[in-house]
Structure 1
Amino acid sequence: MTTMRTVAALLAGLGLAVTTGCSGGTAGYSEVEVGHLTLERPESWSEEPATGELWTQRYVGDGMELQVSGEFSTDPTASAAYSRLDLPATVQLEGYEGSGVDNATVEGADTAVRSDFTYTEDGTPHQGVWVIAGQWPSPSTAAIAITGETLDATVVDQIIASLRFSRTGGGS
């Protein structure tokens, strides 16, 4: 079972709509819009079907995988939504070790968190990063997951730095 298929199996049940588009962005990257999120992903990565019902877009390349859920949950904060990933992973991902949650900055979001983690798949160590962003008072969150045997910190940092959250409903 692939990395995100395992994670997606933990979190089935969220039927989500997605729109994508490409324009502008950093050299070597393409801009993609998925629900609330706009982000840049490496141009060389191929788009493949998302795994499970949680994720709506998936890109694979350079030994890494990026999955996006543009409408992750209706939790009031990103940290509340984090439990929807972390708690199931503690039970169902072999060797799962979370590093806790750090506040993150995502343009347009009221709250955002990042969590780095490790786990084992088919006896091979893997790394992962979750970033969740959200809005208030019309609660809604979006999330990304980047996973692989080894994560290229430059690519991870570029994807995260490019994240923009588009608000819906009322609020600031």
Structure 2
Amino acid sequence: MGVLRAGALAVLAGALVLGAGGCSGPDDGWTEVEVGHLTAQYPSDWTEEPPTGDVFTKRFVGQDMEIQISGRFSEDPSASAAFGRLDLPATVGLRGYSSGGTQNATVEGADTALRSDYTFEDEGTTKRGVWVVAGQYPYPATAVVSISGATLDPQVVQHVVDTLTFTKTAG
């Protein structure tokens, strides 16, 4: 019985290791990138292109979508305060911009995080977008990810949002 139990435990341990192998990373079609405070994943078959505007420092494009990242977005004390730095300029700068409001989000390592879904027009095409803003306190700093496109693959969006991590820094 002891040998059988040890064998069963070995099989269970092997299954757990294989299950852990199911975590996202370069081996399953996702590439991880660290940008300032944020570590994010994007589909490995996407290409890196120069970011648009002066807010973002990294941009990845594929499947008629794009992901842009600002790993050091602002020194606001919370994600909601930093969101205003996105929402207000979008209201006046993006044609047809409509915010879907905000909801609390969970970003590993962040003290505060929120998600905002929105729409806007680009060259006559309605596009969708998602912002995820994460921040730390008591040393205020925020980071943001933007996912946008004419259509958004919900599985890609969910994977990016679910695998974001925020690395805190002191001072």
The two structures, once aligned, show a CA RMSD in angstroms of 1.3
User: Which consecutive segments of 4 or more residues in structure 1 shift more than 2 A?
Assistant: 23-26
Contact 2:73–2:141 (CA<8 Å) still a contact in 1? Answer: yes
Look up the match of 1:86.
Answer: 87
Partner Cα distance (1:158, 1:115) in 2: 16
Look up the match of 2:101.
Answer: 100
Partner Cα distance (1:75, 1:60) in 2: 28
How big is the shift at 1:24?
3.9
Contact 2:25–2:41 (CA<8 Å) still a contact in 1? Answer: no
Q: CA offsets per residue over residues 72-129 of structure 1, 9 Å max, x none?
A: 0000000000000001111111111101110000000000000000011111110000
1:144 aligns with 2:141: no
| 1:160 aligned counterpart, secondary structure | helix
Q: CA offsets per residue over residues 5-45 of structure 1, 9 Å max, x none?
A: xxxxxxxxxxxxxxxxxx94561101110000011110010
Matches within 5 A, 1:5-154: 24-25=25-26, 27-154=28-155
* Unmatched segments (≥5 aa) in structure 2: 1-23
Contact 1:68–1:144 (CA<8 Å) still a contact in 2? Answer: yes
| 2:130 aligned counterpart, secondary structure | strand
Look up the match of 1:3.
Answer: none
Look up the match of 1:18.
Answer: none
Identity %: 57
How big is the shift at 1:51?
1.7
Larger helix share, 1 or 2 = 2
Partner Cα distance (2:25, 2:123) in 1: 38
Contact 1:26–1:40 (CA<8 Å) still a contact in 2? Answer: no
Point out the structure with max Rg over C-alpha: 2
Contact 2:72–2:143 (CA<8 Å) still a contact in 1? Answer: yes
Partner Cα distance (2:143, 2:158) in 1: 18
Report the number of matched residues. Answer: 148
